[in-house]
Structure 1
Amino acid sequence: MIDKISWITVYPEIVLLVMGCVIALVDLGVKSQRRTATYVLTLLTLAVVAALQASYAVGQTTLYGFGNMIVSDPMGNWLKCFATIAVMVTLVYGRPYSADRGMLRGGEIFTLSIFSLLGMFAMISGNNFLIIYMGLELLTLSSYALVALRRDNATASEAAMKYFVLGAMASGFLLYGISMMYGATGSLDITEVAKAIASGHVNHQVLVFGLVFVVAGLAFKLGVVPFHMWIPDVYQGAPTSITLMIAGAPELAAFALAIRLLVEGMLPLAFDWQQMLVVLSIGSLLIGNLAAVAQSNLKRMLAYSTISQMGFVLLGLLSGVVNGDIAGTQNAYSSAMFYIVTYVLTTLAAFGVILLLAREGFESEEISDLAGLNERSPLYAAVMAICLFSMAGIPPMVGFYAKLSVLQALVSSGQGFSIGLAVFAVMMSLVGAFYYLRVVKVMYFDSPITASTVSAPFDVRAVLSVNGALVLILGIVPGGLMTLCAQAIVLTLGT
């Protein structure tokens, strides 16, 4: 018999699942071209779920349910809350764009978004390999359908096929790695796997072999080199509203997946997986920044930017354990969590501006399309500039403190190699500043290619203004979010 605590751990997931089905049925009777009723019901559902997750997170309790297969802890609850808000913001930004391109003929975009979020929840809360894999598949299958939602567009169909083929390969890597872990430890429960590895009575070679495949699967979900090639093609080929759906909330789930598998499940193998993360982070910082310099397509540039930003997240993850000493884990992993949360916040605003500038028959994807934006709309140019400065790590934007916290975690390890990595990361950030500032130059100093003013619905303007302001405000007073991340990691690892 399932106890009461088990049900408490999955109340938000139950609400999502039930409402996803209800919204799909309600949409059958909606006649509006913009699916107003479906849209409002979806946002109300997500708002309730976000409030539920926030209340769980504030309670600072850790609960295990369904035979330890599900865990509800502060880190997971905050990440699920932020992921829900990210999906809400994505739908607000993407609705006018999707309507202009015939993507709202049915309500699939809303139901698929809810089910992809449900997959993220399973990835974040999974304390069992099978639950995590089930969540991963629910997220990826929903994402494939979303990318292909613009059925009459050959570019979107091509992007969906590339995403599907490479995603299937990455899922195979992760599943094979999990099967090796099961073979070595005899358990699918992450807690039991950690105990088995710590006991030292398992074959180390089999563990490391499985670990290689697990890290490869994680690297694909994070989009780091050399598993990055799907990102530029999918970002560019997918409808921009769907690009944001892939670029935002799923990164939070991928981070949680890394914490669950590598930190909670395989911390005794930290020496092995940290070496792999070093190679992945160096490659991501180098290739991501250098390739972005050569791009003229804004979405493709932001794709390579994402690759380099994920390299920074890996720097935080790899600096936790030093020569077997786990004293620095909380500082390192909280800096990585702070980085991923602020990255998603900034990405939402940047793509929000791109979506806002797009109109029927015009995508606004090239960097040159932003020429003279300051003359046409000073507010939207300012929001975009704030986001670009943040991604470049220029104070007082929140991206500066995100980079600083990761670098501080690296340097505080006291290892010469870690300090060298920090210097390399700073040098790559200088390269990155070039292509970010190039876009700012185009917006403020180039002549506009059109005299048309930029207009948007009230909800889009309001959310975008708040989004842009948060990137600046959290940079001026980052302490609250930093403390939240630190407490979440401390309470989660403490259990």
Structure 2
Amino acid sequence: LLVAAAALWQQGGAPCYAGPIALDGFAYYTRWLALALGALLVLLALRPVSGSGAHECVGLILVIAAGLMLVGVAGGLVLIVVGLELISIATFVVLWRGHRDRASQEATAKYIFPSVLASAMVLCGLSFLYGASGSIRWATMSDRLAELQGSSAGFASLAVVLVSAGLGFRIAVVPFHFYAPDVFQETTHANAALLSAVPKAAGLVVLARITMAVASHVGEHAWQIALVLAVLTMTLGNVMALWQDNLRRLLAYCSIAHGGYLLIGLAAVLAPGRATGEVGPVAALLFHLGVYGLAIIGAFAVLEGLGRRGAPVESVVELAGLARTHPMAAALISVFMFSLAGLPPLAGFWGKLVLLGSAPGIREVASGAEASGAEVWPWLLGLGALGVVNVVVAAAYHVRIVGVMYFRTPLGVPKAEGGRGTWLAATLCGVLTILIGLWPGPLLRESVAAGRDKSAIARSSGASAAGGESGRKCRHPSLPRGLAWRRTYLGCSLMLYRTGVTAWCHRETRL
């Protein structure tokens, strides 16, 4: 991780294009996000339990981080498939290693089977996009899809629907959220931290790539669909969290709600207008994704570090009086809960502020469609207002946890059973959450540079194909061109997918 961070720092954010790889500002931000999440999850995996196999888990987490980085630099379909399957297959193994009883095995199966189906839907949708456009690069695909008419355009729309449905499972968007509460409840805190951060980040990164490259050409009602899904997802997540007592199940619904918040940025990207503010919807989405990852991983890290007689802390009641028995742990949980709730002066406040403000910020009308723009803005304003209402609802269950820690009599004395890595991860998340809340400028500037406007990603993906006018060539040798390398990459991705599924089925047969 340190070597990768040093190489990324030396490269900088200057655009660099080579074949299917697009090293633009979006990729630069995504790779730093992958390294940060990977480092925190590696610290969580370093548990001081004999025979825990921490080295295996660390290796799998590195594979997951590499998959997220591949998704970020993808300039077309091939690396999207490879990156998503790296994340999925490694996540399967991590979850299966963490099972403790029959119930957790069943919950793991609830994640694996739908995830395989979701991967198949994404692969099928991407193959349809390739068939409709005849290209695997975003820029070329965007130009060719704009020329489609009749049944061909409908075929491309079906492809986008399939890809969005498959990615909706990873983001836990309604109605594809059904697995999250059960899987989170029956797995470990460390595995729940992984599920709440990395698949959601990967799904949103891919959706952002596809949205800005092709979705505007294949569906004029796409923004309305994203708007409805955002409202349903954040409302259901927050309302269901109000009645939860199990901590992992509560945070699962919190994660679902944040998926709805992030879809607000996606709906704003799809809307037929242009952002009037300095922070566009893509920048707001990326910024909120970063601060959300810090808060949710930090919360699970503290819970991973606490325990009672060798058993993890499971329910909200078990945190009663934690401020008296473990003041530092209570303070860290309070920071993460307030950040997830969007309360100042923490990072989550700025994340929700820029994200909820990105929807009403779509004011100007593109392509002279004045009537269309007049209809769009009230809907986006209402979407932002509903987001504010959901923030108020979410504050109830976050403040409830803090109240239990500070105003209830302790039922016992939880022991700090986590290792140094666990508490180091929790402390780093807490410090960064506070620092970003006090000085959001640096991270906000990076997110703005990553999502400058709607068409930046589409242009950068095809810069090398257009002669490199908007970017420089990479210093390493160029990749082979033509059909040969396409077949090679597609063959490798399909082989990786088939190998992972076959290995899992073989494991099931042996068990």
* TM-score for the superposition, normalised by structure 1: 0.84
Query: Displacement of 1:344 after TM fit?
Result: 0.2
Amino acid at match of 1:466: L
Question: What is the match of residue 180 of structure 2?
Answer: 231
Deviations 1:49-84 (A, max 9, x none): 12322333xx2222222xx22222222122222212
Which SS does the other structure have where 2:409 is aligned?
coil
Which SS does the other structure have where 1:92 is aligned?
helix
Distance change in 2, residues 1:257/1:328 (3 Å): farther
Instruction: Point out the more displaced range, 83-92 or 416-425.
Output: 83-92
Question: What is the match of residue 422 of structure 1?
Answer: 384
Q: In structure 1, what is the Cα distance between the partners aligned to 2:326 and 2:427?
A: 13
Q: In structure 1, what is the Cα distance between the partners aligned to 2:275 and 2:426?
A: 40
Which consecutive unaligned segments of at least 5 residues does structure 2 have? 364-376, 461-511
Distance change in 2, residues 1:238/1:216 (3 Å): same
* Residue 433 of structure 1, aligned match among 390, 395, 413: 395
Instruction: Point out the more displaced range, 212-221 or 173-182.
Output: 173-182
Amino acid at match of 1:468: G
Question: What is the match of residue 9 of structure 2?
Answer: 54
Distance change in 2, residues 1:121/1:307 (3 Å): same
Query: Displacement of 1:462 after TM fit?
Result: 3.9
Query: Displacement of 1:152 after TM fit?
Result: 5.1
Q: In structure 1, what is the Cα distance between the partners aligned to 2:124 and 2:420?
A: 48
Q: In structure 1, what is the Cα distance between the partners aligned to 2:8 and 2:219?
A: 30
Whether 2:235 is the aligned partner of 1:286: answer yes
Question: What is the match of residue 27 of structure 2?
Answer: 76
Q: In structure 2, what is the Cα distance between the partners aligned to 1:248 and 1:71?
A: 23
Q: In structure 1, what is the Cα distance between the partners aligned to 2:421 and 2:165?
A: 40
Query: Displacement of 1:422 after TM fit?
Result: 1.1
Contact 1:224/1:310 (<8 A) preserved: yes
In the TM superposition, 1:370-381 aligns within 5 A as: 370-381=319-330
Question: What is the match of residue 169 of structure 2?
Answer: 220
* Alignment size in residue pairs: 443
Which SS does the other structure have where 1:219 is aligned?
helix
Distance change in 2, residues 1:178/1:480 (3 Å): same
Question: What is the match of residue 340 of structure 2?
Answer: 391
Whether 2:411 is the aligned partner of 1:449: answer yes
Instruction: Point out the more displaced range, 262-271 or 422-431.
Output: 262-271
Instruction: Point out the more displaced range, 375-384 or 187-196.
Output: 187-196
Instruction: Point out the more displaced range, 73-82 or 292-301.
Output: 73-82
Q: In structure 1, what is the Cα distance between the partners aligned to 2:206 and 2:309?
A: 38
Which SS does the other structure have where 1:64 is aligned?
strand
Distance change in 2, residues 1:270/1:74 (3 Å): farther
Query: Displacement of 1:399 after TM fit?
Result: 0.9
Amino acid at match of 1:84: L
Contact 1:321/1:328 (<8 A) preserved: no
Deviations 1:429-477 (A, max 9, x none): 1111111111011111111111355365444434422321221221122
* Residue 111 of structure 2, aligned match among 163, 187, 202: 163
Q: In structure 1, what is the Cα distance between the partners aligned to 2:324 and 2:100?
A: 35
Which consecutive unaligned segments of at least 5 residues does structure 1 have? 1-45
Identity of aligned residues (%): 27
Q: In structure 2, what is the Cα distance between the partners aligned to 1:134 and 1:465?
A: 33
Query: Displacement of 1:342 after TM fit?
Result: 0.6
Query: Displacement of 1:210 after TM fit?
Result: 1.5
Contact 1:313/1:339 (<8 A) preserved: yes
Whether 2:224 is the aligned partner of 1:275: answer yes
Question: What is the match of residue 28 of structure 1?
Answer: none
Question: What is the match of residue 373 of structure 2?
Answer: none
In the TM superposition, 1:73-472 aligns within 5 A as: 73-96=24-47, 99-100=48-49, 102-104=51-53, 107-150=55-98, 153-200=101-148, 203-269=152-218, 271-323=220-272, 325=274, 331-358=280-307, 361-414=310-363, 415-452=377-414, 454=416, 457-472=419-434
Which SS does the other structure have where 2:416 is aligned?
coil
Q: In structure 2, what is the Cα distance between the partners aligned to 1:101 and 1:228?
A: 35
Q: In structure 2, what is the Cα distance between the partners aligned to 1:394 and 1:448?
A: 26
RMSD value, Cα: 2.2
Distance change in 2, residues 1:272/1:225 (3 Å): same
Query: Displacement of 1:351 after TM fit?
Result: 0.8
Q: In structure 1, what is the Cα distance between the partners aligned to 2:219 and 2:340?
A: 29
Instruction: Point out the more displaced range, 227-236 or 316-325.
Output: 316-325
Amino acid at match of 2:9: A
Q: In structure 1, what is the Cα distance between the partners aligned to 2:107 and 2:8?
A: 33
Amino acid at match of 2:378: G
Contact 2:304/2:422 (<8 A) preserved: no
Query: Displacement of 1:165 after TM fit?
Result: 0.7
Distance change in 2, residues 1:84/1:332 (3 Å): same
Q: In structure 1, what is the Cα distance between the partners aligned to 2:439 and 2:275?
A: 29
Query: Displacement of 1:150 after TM fit?
Result: 3.2
Question: What is the match of residue 7 of structure 1?
Answer: none
